[in-house]
């Protein structure tokens, strides 16, 4: 565990990193970005918390059962969205034209509208959840194994 | 139509792959082998991205785009997939090296080659 | 002996790589771009998104993204399986 100044600054900075990461995930169909890139940004914030507080302290907040449930639900949501348009073809974009995230932008260059894209923003959220939970679990497991021999259930 | 002499970005990617082949063939330390594999992945990603470049091109996104032809978009999607797969494989390799070091006590690849009971 | 064989293999591979790189299309002028031209033209009205790379990743080539998510899941499971310490083995011995 590092000194009090580092711990206070890390407590304040994690909020801005979380907001920026969620912005990159949510605007994946308008600006460059998407599920994988936003997930990597948030995992780098978790690694900053792991360095400021020791892994012994972080183990009480990020339990392994919660991370496992979140990652599995991200994968299940992705598979359900892929199978939902099976009437035409596998991975069919069935939400273009309907009121939920339907809407087609004007052809050619121009400012983007967030209520477009069909099934793409929902898939971005599913993949973002999967990447965050998976990589956080890996980093936490390696840090716990090499510092102290704790029992992991 | 001015051509870049010797196809320089492709040559740089081929040199990266060649140096990583030298590391994988001749070095014995396990950590150096893992670094060689990571360098091989970087060379392949650079080659894949620079295959789809158009001279004077812009990024293939329609929001506030400047003038010019758009670069090819499928190689960029394939490179994203390749980067994520390389991260996953690298994590798995590093945990295996941690277990080998706990079990045999040395990082030499010659000592942990024979399969004992 | 092993060093000589390694050196010959390395030389053959490097000559093959460099000569292959000098023979493909000049940098900046790709010649087989019919599929990408179709995707850049029709991505906005078929999928409804401004980002062509996201449309390619999740709509035109969604099966590759499904395979990549599976690889991520398998790697995370493998890492969490390798880093377990059981305390029961020390108590019984």
Kindly tell me if the per-residue pLDDT of C39 is higher than 90.
yes
Domain residues for C19? 2-92
Residues B50-105: tens digit of each pLDDT: 999 998 889 999 988 888 899 999 999 999 999 999 999 999 999 999 999 988 88
Size of interface B-C (CB pairs under 8 A): 119
Report the number of distinct structural domains present in chain A. Answer: 1
Kindly tell me if the per-residue pLDDT of C4 is higher than 60.
yes
Q: How far apart are CA B67 and CA B24, in angstroms?
A: 45
- Domain residue limits, chain B: 5-104
Instruction: Count CB-CB contacts under 10 A for residue B97.
Output: 15
Which pTM value belongs to this model?
0.90
For chain A, give the mean pLDDT.
89
Report the number of distinct structural domains present in chain C. Answer: 1
Collect all residues with Cβ–Cβ distance below 8 Å to B73 and sequence separation of at least 6. Answer: B52, B60, C36, C39, C40, C52, C53, C56
With an 8 Å Cβ cutoff, is A88 touching chain B?
Answer: no
By Cβ distance, the residue of A29, A78, A141 closest to C49 is: A29
Domain residues for A135? 4-147
A73 Cα distance to chain centroid? 12
Interface test with B, best of A24, A28, A29, A32 (most B CBs within 10 A): A32
Lowest mean pLDDT among A90-104, B84-98, C42-56, C59-73: A90-104
Kindly tell me if the per-residue pLDDT of B23 is higher than 70.
yes
- 8 A C-beta contact, residue A92 and residue A85: yes
> Is residue A39 in a domain?
yes
Residues A105-124: tens digit of each pLDDT: 777 787 888 888 889 999 99
> Is residue A153 in a domain?
no
Size of interface A-B (CB pairs under 8 A): 26
Kindly tell me if the per-residue pLDDT of C88 is higher than 80.
no
Question: Nearest-CA distance from B101 to chain C in Å?
Answer: 13
Q: Determine the average pLDDT of the residues in B16-35.
A: 94
Q: Determine the average pLDDT of the residues in C41-63.
A: 91
Q: ipTM score of the complex? A: 0.87
Q: How far apart are CA A18 and CA C74, in angstroms?
A: 26
Q: How far apart are CA C14 and CA B15, in angstroms?
A: 8
Question: Nearest-CA distance from A80 to chain C in Å?
Answer: 12
The number of C-alpha atoms within 13 Å of C82 and in the hemisphere containing its C-beta is 21
pLDDT at A121: 92
For chain C, give the mean pLDDT.
88
pLDDT at B106: 87
CATH class of B5-104: mainly alpha
Question: Nearest-CA distance from B57 to chain A in Å?
Answer: 15
Which residues of chain B are within 8 Å of residue A31 when distances are taken between CB atoms?
61, 63
Which residues of chain B are within 8 Å of residue C78 when distances are taken between CB atoms?
92, 95
Lowest mean pLDDT among A23-27, A45-49, B110-114, C20-24: B110-114
Q: Determine the average pLDDT of the residues in A129-153.
A: 84
> Is residue A152 in a domain?
no
Residues A131-140: tens digit of each pLDDT: 999 999 999 9
Q: Please answer yes or no on whether A130 and C50 come within 8 Å at the CB atom.
A: no
Q: How far apart are CA B101 and CA B105, in angstroms?
A: 5
SS3 readout for C33-91: CHHHHHHHHHHHHHCCCCEHHHHHHHHHCHHHHHHHHHHHHHHHHHHHHHCCCCCHHHH
Q: Please answer yes or no on whether C66 and A79 come within 8 Å at the CB atom.
A: yes
């Amino acid at each position: 565990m590092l000194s009090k100044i580092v711990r206070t600054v890390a407590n304040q900075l994690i909020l801005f990193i979380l907001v920026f990461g969620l912005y990159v995930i949510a605007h994946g169909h308008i600006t460059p970005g998407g599920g994988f890139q936003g997930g990597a940004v948030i995992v780098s914030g978790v690694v900053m918390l792991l360095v400021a507080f020791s892994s012994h302290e972080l183990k009480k907040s990020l339990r392994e059962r919660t991370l496992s449930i979140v990652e599995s639900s991200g994968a299940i949501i992705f598979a359900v969205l892929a199978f939902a348009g099976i009437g035409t073809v596998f991975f069919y974009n069935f939400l273009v034209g309907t009121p939920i995230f339907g809407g087609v932008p004007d052809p050619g260059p121009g400012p983007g509208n967030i209520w477009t894209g069909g099934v793409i923003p929902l898939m971005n959220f599913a993949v973002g959840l999967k990447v965050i939970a998976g990589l956080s679990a890996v980093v936490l497991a390696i840090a716990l194994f090499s510092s102290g021999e704790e029992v992991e259930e | 139509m001015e051509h870049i002499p010797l196809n320089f970005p492709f040559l740089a990617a081929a040199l990266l792959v060649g140096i990583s082949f030298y590391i994988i063939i001749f070095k014995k330390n396990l950590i150096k082998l893992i670094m060689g594999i990571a360098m091989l992945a970087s060379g392949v990603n650079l080659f894949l991205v620079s295959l789809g470049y158009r001279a004077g091109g812009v990024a293939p996104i329609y929001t506030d785009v400047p003038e010019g032809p758009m670069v090819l978009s499928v190689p960029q999607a394939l490179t994203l997939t390749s980067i994520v797969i390389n991260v996953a494989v690298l994590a798995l390799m590093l945990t295996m090296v941690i277990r080998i070091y706990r079990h045999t006590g040395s990082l030499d690849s010659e000592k942990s080659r024979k399969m004992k009971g | 002996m092993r060093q000589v064989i390694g050196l010959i293999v390395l030389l053959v591979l490097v000559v093959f790589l460099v000569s292959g790189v000098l023979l493909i299309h000049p940098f900046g002028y790709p010649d087989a771009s019919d599929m990408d031209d179709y995707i850049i033209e029709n991505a906005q009205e078929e999928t409804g998104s401004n980002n062509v790379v996201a449309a390619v990743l999740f709509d035109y080539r969604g099966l590759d993204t499904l395979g990549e998510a599976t690889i991520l899941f398998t790697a995370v499971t493998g890492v969490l399986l390798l880093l377990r310490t059981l305390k029961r083995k020390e108590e019984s011995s």
